[in-house]
Amino acid sequence: MTKTEQSHLLCDECGSEFFNNVSPMKNRCPNCSHLLYGLNNCEHHFKEGRCQQCGCHGQTSK
């Protein structure tokens, strides 16, 4: 499955879309999972405002 075919989830915390299989938590993007719970984060590679690996736009929980 390519990244363009992956389904997206919406982070309950910051509202960012992210690929459904990249975050350690179902309802939190990798950034929020990391900042709030200390879980592993994505090593982001942004292109046109989105991470090519996880789909996040880089906004984090406030």
What single DSSP character describes residue 30? Answer: H
- pLDDT digit string, tens, across residues 8-19: 899 999 999 999
User: Is-contact 32 60, C-beta < 8 A?
Assistant: yes
pLDDT tier, 1 (very low <50, low <70, confident <90, very high otherwise) = very low
pTM, whole model, 2 decimals? 0.77
User: Is-contact 54 42, C-beta < 8 A?
Assistant: yes
- pLDDT digit string, tens, across residues 2-58: 555 678 899 999 999 999 899 999 899 999 999 999 999 999 899 998 899 999 886
